[in-house]
A and B are shown apart, each in its own frame.
Chain A
Amino acid sequence: MNALHDQAQSREGMAPEPSADAPVRLPPIRVRTGAGEVARFLRETGGVRNDGLVPLTFPIRWLTLPAIRGLVLQLIGGDGFLPVHEAQSFAYERELRVEADYVLAVEVRRTAKPPRLTLKMSVSTGQGEICAQLETVLRIVPLNLEPAS
């Protein structure tokens, strides 16, 4: 996707045209459920766990890892657009443990009319056992870039 082209389009208030609806898959990403990160996340989300398990929605933070975030921003199409969270799902085969290593598999698909990104992420152990699967649907909203009065 040509970011400059899309930014130029955004200034005209038009959504960038998707180049294709084919999903983009990222190489596997290794992550760790650090105890400090989990505790801070729990504190801000009203969580009550103290059993060594990770809060159910914690994996959402991995969507902002640089590789995933960069792809999302590229597919959104520039500064004239913002992602708005439309739907979310989590499916767990097993709970995630604190201070454990996992591997993420991520694919992102852009669709048009209305423009959306759908992110699918699976969280597996290093041995390849799937623990959880997430699906995130983001609507792409054009911004009114006129100066605020």
Chain B
Amino acid sequence: MIESGMEPAPPDWPRAGDEIRAQSFGPFAREALARYAAVSGDDNPLHLDPNAARAAGLAGPPVHGMLMFSCFEPLIMQWRPDLFIARLSGKFLRPVLAGEGIRVSGRVMRRRDVPRPELTLRLIARAQNNDLAILGEATVLYKISGPLS
């Protein structure tokens, strides 16, 4: 469970404006979309069938939004493994088509030190053509003493 005791922020606790180093994910080939459909259960034909994608007005099958959204967690945890992601949200703004990759990045928008070190992060996933694919936000807490459970 989330602990609520007073705990000082570590000396290297990020500040507002700090950047999370961008990472690339993908490219997401159609085979990768099929595998994600299998592990997530999301077999919406929009992502798997070019005809369904065309019928929805797209040039080809789009990458599952949640496959791209899932990239935010490794981005954050590779940046700082001492975090608990309490909230993660996002809006899917532009489709990214199969065969393309994304570039995911973040920035610290707000830092709070009490009652517990907390950061608000702005997260962005961009398509290869730099279109904004997902605009996200996370609230992360300093993980005080090992796994929170």
Contact partner of A93 (CB less than 8 A), chosen from B1, B46, B71, is: B1
Chain A residues numbered 43-83 whose CB sits less than 8 Å from any CB in chain B: 43-49, 51-53, 55-57, 60-61, 63-65, 69, 82-83
- A85 CB within 8 Å of chain B: yes
Residues of B near A143 (CB, < 8 A) are 52, 55-56
Is A40 a contact of B39 with CB atoms below 8 Å? yes
Checking A47, A64, A82, A95 against B56 with a beta-carbon cut-off of 8 angstroms, the contacting residue is A82
Task: Tell me the minimal C-beta distance from A39 to chain B in angstroms.
Answer: 9
B148 is contacted by which of A56, A82, A94 (Cβ under 8 Å)?
A: A94
Known interface pairs A55-B70, A87-B89, A143-B56; A45-B149 also in contact (CB < 8 Å): no
Residues of B within 8 Å of A48, CB to CB, are 74, 77-78
* Assembly CA distance A46 to B139 (angstroms): 21
- Once the chains bind, are A47 and B42 in contact (CB under 8 Å)? no
**A92 in contact with B85 (CB, 8 Å):** yes
Chain B residues, CB < 8 A from A69: 41
B54 touches A46 (CB 8 A): no
In the complex the two chains form, is A51's CB within 8 Å of B147's CB? Answer: yes
- Give the number of chain B interface residues (Cβ < 8 Å): 44
Q: Which of under 10, 10 to 19, 20 to 34, or 35 or more describes the interface residues of A? A: 35 or more
Contact A60–B89 (Cβ < 8 Å): no
* CA–CA, A129 and B1, complex, Å: 10
Does A87 contact B41, Cβ atoms closer than 8 Å?
Answer: no
- Across the interface, name the chain B residue whose C-beta is closest to A100: B149
Contact between chains at B40 and A41 (CB < 8 Å): yes
Which residue from A61, A82, A129 sits with its C-beta under 8 Å from B40? A61
A144 vs B46: C-alpha distance when bound (angstroms): 12
Chain A residues within 8 Å of B90, by CB = 87-89
Question: What's the minimum C-beta distance from A49 to chain B, rounded to whole angstroms?
Answer: 8
CB of A29 within 8 Å of the partner chain:
no
Which of A85, A92, A141 is close to B66, meaning CB atoms less than 8 Å apart? A85
Does any Cβ of B come within 8 Å of A120's Cβ? no
- CB–CB B2/A94 < 8 A: yes
Q: List the 6 closest pairs (A to B, CB-CB), nearest first.
A: A64-B41, A89-B89, A45-B70, A85-B65, A143-B55, A57-B70
Interface CB pairs A-B, < 8 A, 11: A45-B74, A61-B40, A64-B41, A65-B41, A85-B64, A86-B91, A86-B92, A88-B66, A90-B89, A95-B148, A148-B55
- Using a CB–CB cutoff of 8 Å, the interface residues on chain A facing chain B are 37, 40-41, 43-49, 51-53, 55-57, 60-61, 63-65, 69, 82-95, 97, 129, 141, 143-145, 148
